[in-house]
Amino acid sequence: MPDYVIAPPIQAAVPVAGGGHFPVRRIYCVGRNYAEHAREMGHDPDREPPFFFTKPADALVTGGADMPYPSMTADLHHEMELVVALGSGGVEIDEAEAMRHVWGYAAGLDMTRRDLQDTAKKARRPWDMSKGFDHSAPIGDMVRAEGVVPGRIELRVNGATRQSSDVGKLIWSIPETIAYLSRLVRLEAGDLIFTGTPEGVASVQRGDLLEGVVDGVGGVRVRVA
């Protein structure tokens, strides 16, 4: 080990169902990847190229831990998403080869300070503080990808269904997303991709219980504290 002058940061990781932990390098997120969500946000869901933003790896909330209500917002939104975990990477990955890099899947939440994001959009400023804040990425246990076809995606808040769709409705499929993203950056083992949220995003309050599920993958459960 190098002679670090302070203690090295803790490696972010996601528990794997059945045992072990998946170490996380980077978190990429796809914007507006379901047509009905693009429409509810006031956009035309034509097939414009996908766009991406990031969250820090240590924004993950795992193991069903509470998510503290973040500072500096009065409009915290849920975005229920399928998360893809890469076991290998590369640059300019062929779409036909892309699925070979997928190690696993998880259900995740791209929590968003919507008021700060709206301000940033209007001012043409970056989204980092609206998307990449502490505890902004609750995630459930990961499953191996082999044989899994993610299906229905759903989020309930305090037992009431808020989001309900199907991963089959992604505008940019998982292999298309990996291929496109790998033209922008070198993807590596340990990278996560939040693939986008379906329609039905809305505010949550302190005390709310969020329970998401992706059929074939599993769930995510988090309380806003």
For residue 31, give every residue at least 6 positions away whose Cβ sits within 8 Å of its Cβ, in sequence order, or none. Answer: 50, 51, 52, 53, 196
| CB of 90 or CB of 132, closer to Mn ion | 132
CB of 96 to Mn ion, least distance (A): 26
DSSP code of residue 204: -
Q: One symbol per residue from 186 to 215: x for binding Mn ion (CB under 5 A), - otherwise; what is it?
A: -----------x------------------
Give the number of other Cβ atoms within 10 Å of residue 197's Cβ. Answer: 29
Give the number of other Cβ atoms within 10 Å of residue 60's Cβ. Answer: 23
| CB of 52 or CB of 69, closer to Mn ion | 52
Residues 53 to 92 in contact with Mn ion, rule: CB under 5 A: 79
CB of 101 to Mn ion, least distance (A): 21
| CB of 79 or CB of 141, closer to Mn ion | 79
Nearest to 204 by CA among 109, 76, 63: 76
* Residue 130 sits in the site that holds Mn ion (CB under 5 A): no
CB of 74 to Mn ion, least distance (A): 20
Question: How far apart are alpha carbons 132 and 52 in whole angstroms?
Answer: 12
Range in contact with Mn ion (rule: CB under 5 A) among 55-63, 88-96, 104-112, 203-211: 104-112
The secondary structure of the chain in percent helix, strand, coil, rounded to multiples of 5, reads 20, 35, 45
Q: For Mn ion, which residue of 110, 141, 154, 191 counts as binding (CB under 5 A)?
A: 110
Interface positions with Mn ion (CB under 5 A) = 79, 110, 197
